[in-house]
Amino acid sequence: MISHQFALIRREIWEHRSLFITPAVVGLVMVLTLLTAFIFASGYQEIVDIGIVGAQSLAGDTERRAALLAVLAGNTAPFMIAGAILTVFYSLDSLYAERKNKSILFWRSLPITDAETVISKLLTTVLAIPLIAFVVIMVTHLLILAMTSMFVSIEGGSSMFLIWKSAPLFDVWAGMLIIMILLPVWFSPFIGWFLFVSGWTKRSPLLMAFLPLMLVPTLEYWVLRTHLIWDAIQGRFDQLPLFKGIDIETLFDDSEFIANADAVSLLAYVDVGKFFASPHMWAGLVVCGLFITAAIYVRRYRDDS
Amino acid sequence: MSSLVTARNVSKSFGNVRAVDNVSFDIEKGKIMGLFGPNGAGKTTLLKAVLGLTDCEGSLSVLGLDPFKQRKELMQNICFIADVAVLPRWIKVAQLLDFMESVHPNFSRPRAEDLLSRTKVRIDAKVGELSKGMVTQLHLSIITAIDAKLLVLDEPTLGLDIIFRKEFYSNLLNDYFDGERTILITTHQVEEIENLMTDIMFINDGRILLDSSMEALPDTFMELITSGENADKARQFGPIYERDVFGKKVMTFEGVDPENLEGLGEPHTPSVADLFVAKVKGAAA
């Protein structure tokens, strides 16, 4: 069962090469942009010098750490957006394309159950997409830091002191890994719905997936004058129970307006306990499970080949 | 003889249409069974039921398993080629072999590589880059490398030129068939597999019109080329089908003692294609 899953997920990555090409392109664009910025910046020698002197002498450890945390964490945003888009398109395509190109007949001639196949597609969205993006993020971070330290060294600064000692790499990585694994879990009702539509619809999965998300709440409001479904959909986007609120009291020391070193951390804001204690998270998993079961049922029982 | 496939009163309906209507038959080990029927006769539905791709009424047992409920176990010992187009176009040959190796317990990669080395299919090619004939060669090589008990072929050579078709069947016989394995095959090109089959089954409107071994055909069926008065005499023995060829009558008889027809024309054993037409048209008349 588990070795089957590895083979099946590997197959998904072979088929959907965009799953690794997209994050790689995002990372490459980021590295090239930074390179251009450095080349551009070297034309402004004085300002750069002042910046480096400032960073070395005036700023404290915590400020340097905070600045690098902002850079490293901020860099992950384009990857997250790319990952979200990939998840939508991949999950809508995965059970649709095999029927469209009739390869489903070949896949079903092998000793693999429909449940194993559908689950492999679910695991690709919730595990493979985030993990691939995560590895690319780590590589991008290392490249960005390496380039920055080269630039700093060329400009006469101490890269070891400025960059490598201050960069909260492992904090950002651990935090990102948790966030990237748990985000798809939180959004799993949508993923389940997309996979179901992908396995069920005879045409235009994108339209068939998004239209009901608008129409059903509208219908509910017309008929029942309630908006429960809309609230549930919207709630997925504004009630993610994964972060602690930023507390100004702990962020700054009372006396001096200097950031508290413990608070300059991504991990410090991730609240895994709150996530798993959230009934909304579990309710979402149940909804996802229902859609996945329906997707398995449709693949097994529908005979449209 | 052990029966690999046992069907008793198998039916399958789509709405009001009975695609397979109360069908019973057996396929024994080591046989090559040809299944023929006009388009829409229920062939593909019957094959799908055998492969566990669709559920059905009645009792159907394949290798002692319920094909629909135990599809995974069944697929370890059954292979099928449904149509030439089903291998995914995006996959590379090497990836396909990797994948087969990791999911199929009875797949032998060295055997597949050996079979492929005799074709023009390159290991690093993508399926989408191969010609239709090469895709079929690839598919057959993979299937042949699986140590399976039953091979189901549904129009395997559709759209291939004559050279690839001939090669397909010669490879099938030489590399796959060993007397232990069993083949169930459907095709419209009846002539090409006439000498290959050991058993034959005709199906029309979801019902079986004929289920016989090839050896038994000459004893049961006879075709008579006749004309004039002789034709009238022969007609009294109830030909199942009659057609005109160059001003002569060609009649097909089923289960009529050859002695009765002696002297009434030229007797011979009908070809499978002619027999097929006679049975289908005769049943419709």
Return left, alpha or beta for A102; rule: phi > 0 is left, psi -120 to 50 is alpha, else beta. Answer: left
The answer on pLDDT for B85 being more than 60 is no
Confidence of residue B137 (pLDDT cuts 50, 70, 90): confident
Q: How far is CA B260 from CA B41, B117, B235, B268, in A?
A: 34, 57, 11, 14
Contact A301/B at CB under 8 A: yes
The answer on pLDDT for A250 being more than 60 is no
% chain A with pLDDT above 90: 50
Tens digits of per-residue pLDDT, B202-226?
Answer: 998 888 989 999 988 888 899 888 8
Return left, alpha or beta for A155; rule: phi > 0 is left, psi -120 to 50 is alpha, else beta. Answer: alpha
The answer on pLDDT for A111 being more than 70 is yes
**pLDDT (mean) for A231-244:** 84
Confidence of residue A294 (pLDDT cuts 50, 70, 90): very high
The answer on pLDDT for B276 being more than 60 is yes
B chain contacts of residue A19, beta-carbon cutoff 8 Å: none
Confidence of residue B279 (pLDDT cuts 50, 70, 90): confident
Minimal C-alpha gap between A197 and chain B (Å): 21
Contact B73/A at CB under 8 A: yes
Query: Highest-confidence range of A40-49, A178-187, B166-175, by mean pLDDT?
Result: A178-187
Tens digits of per-residue pLDDT, B87-99?
Answer: 999 999 999 999 9
Contact A92/B at CB under 8 A: no
The whole-number pLDDT of residue A246 equals 62
% chain B with pLDDT above 90: 30
H or E segment and range at residue B223: strand B221-226
Place of tokens 């397979």: B20
Check the CA dihedral B158-B94-B144-A111 and report its sign.
negative
In angstroms, how far is the first alpha carbon of chain B from the final one?
37
The Cα–Cα gap between A217 and A196 comes to 19
The whole-number pLDDT of residue B103 equals 92
Tens digits of per-residue pLDDT, A138-169?
Answer: 999 999 999 888 888 887 777 777 778 788 88
- Say which of A101, A108, A111 has its CB closest to residue B53: A108
The more confidently predicted of residues B226 and B85 is B226
**pLDDT (mean) for A228-257:** 72
A chain contacts of residue B13, beta-carbon cutoff 8 Å: none
The whole-number pLDDT of residue B263 equals 81
The whole-number pLDDT of residue A247 equals 59
CB B86 to CB A303 under 8 A? Answer: no
CB A7 to CB B103 under 8 A? Answer: yes
**pLDDT (mean) for B246-263:** 86
- Four-point Cα dihedral B2, B5, B11, B17, nearest 10: -140
**pLDDT (mean) for A91-108:** 90
- Say which of B54, B80, B105 has its CB closest to residue A109: B80
Minimal C-alpha gap between A283 and chain B (Å): 31
B chain contacts of residue A96, beta-carbon cutoff 8 Å: none
**pLDDT (mean) for B125-152:** 90
A chain contacts of residue B90, beta-carbon cutoff 8 Å: 14-15
